[in-house]
Structure 1
Amino acid sequence: MKTTMPRETGAQRRWIIIDAAGQPLGRLATFIADRLRGKDRPTFTPHLDTGAFVIVTNASQVKLTGRKESAKMYQDYSGYPSGLKKTPAGRMRARHPDRMITRAVWGMIPKNRLGRSIIRRLKVYPGAEHPHAAQQPEAVEFKA
């Protein structure tokens, strides 16, 4: 028997849509990262980008458990002295709810050229509306 290697150029990319309303952030991010990398498919290959496009709606309604709404901090560092900015999760949800999910997923994919191409296929929207109806995404049910 021979092992077949999937070709990245011949990959049929699926479009899936996930509703984030009421879902825990970490569990949702793990589910999304697996779909983006293609780990849910039998043709998964670690060094190839064979995953799906993922659309996440209702990002502003994602659930944070415990006291994370006030205690969890997002840090950005400019590289200059005293250039560290800390943002609580509550303020991040109010201003940029899509970045909460994007950052959580980015932490779960490789930090290299492959990871940068994977994260481009993640589309996150704070509300229920999205501009990707022409791609006919299939709804994927996620239960934490």
Structure 2
Amino acid sequence: MDTLSYKTISANKETAQKEWVVIDATDQVVGRLGSKVAKLLRGKYKASFTPHVDCGDNVIIINADKVKFTGNKWNDKVYLSYTGYPGGQREITPAALMKKPNGEEKLLKRVVKGMLPKNRLGAKLLGNLYVYAGSEHKHEAQSPKTIDINSLK
């Protein structure tokens, strides 16, 4: 058998098979949900995964206001940010973040962003994530399919 005839297929922007998926976040643990969503955004569940190409799916998360943390992480976990000025380190808990306007979106995007590559590709992949607090979303025209996040590894 001539093994030199096999070519490694590498996906590019034109040949990537991108889909729209809906995930219901009701009673899901934030970190476990975030890691599976990051894998979907990256395209790691696909056979045609290519590390340097956006070949992942567009993910819509609904019911983001019903997520949960294990233990007492709602009040004990601290997210740090820095303003760039001396003494400008800020900290916020997930409970305080959820009380802000669009807090559900900010919380889940922050969690998923930490699990994506820290480069231009990671920033582009984060743009493929759409988070909604209720059960309604505005992407019906894309005819997304609903998947069970618990069935993914």
Q: TM-score range by the shorter chain?
A: over 0.9
Provide the residue aligned with 1:48 in structure 2.
53
If the length of structure 2 is used for normalisation, what is the TM-score? 0.90
Provide the residue aligned with 1:86 in structure 2.
91
1:28 aligns with 2:39: no
Could you tell me which runs of 5 or more consecutive residues in structure 2 were left unpaired when the two chains were aligned: 1-5
Moved beyond 2 Å, runs of 4+: none
Offset of 1:8 from its aligned partner? 1.6
> In the alignment, which of 118, 125, 129 is matched to residue 132 of structure 2?
125
Q: What value does the CA root-mean-square deviation take over the aligned residues?
A: 1.2
Offset of 1:62 from its aligned partner? 0.6
1:39 aligns with 2:31: no
Provide the residue aligned with 1:10 in structure 2.
15
Which structure has more relative contact order (CA 8 Å, sep 6+)? It is: 1
Offset of 1:100 from its aligned partner? 1.2
The correspondence of residues 129-140 of structure 1 with structure 2, limited to 5 A, is 129-140=136-147
> In the alignment, which of 106, 109, 113 is matched to residue 113 of structure 2?
106
Offset of 1:48 from its aligned partner? 1.1
Distance 2:37 2:104 in 1: 16
Could you tell me which runs of 5 or more consecutive residues in structure 1 were left unpaired when the two chains were aligned: none
1:111-140 Cα distance to aligned partner (Å, 9 max, x none): 111111111000011111111111111001
1:30-55 Cα distance to aligned partner (Å, 9 max, x none): 11000000000000011111001000
Aligned residues: 144
If the length of structure 1 is used for normalisation, what is the TM-score? 0.95
Which one has a bigger Cα radius of gyration? 2
Q: Give the aligned residue type for 1:130.
A: H
Provide the residue aligned with 2:3 in structure 1.
none
Larger mean CA deviation between 52-61 and 5-14 belongs to 5-14
Offset of 1:12 from its aligned partner? 2.7
Offset of 1:143 from its aligned partner? 2.1
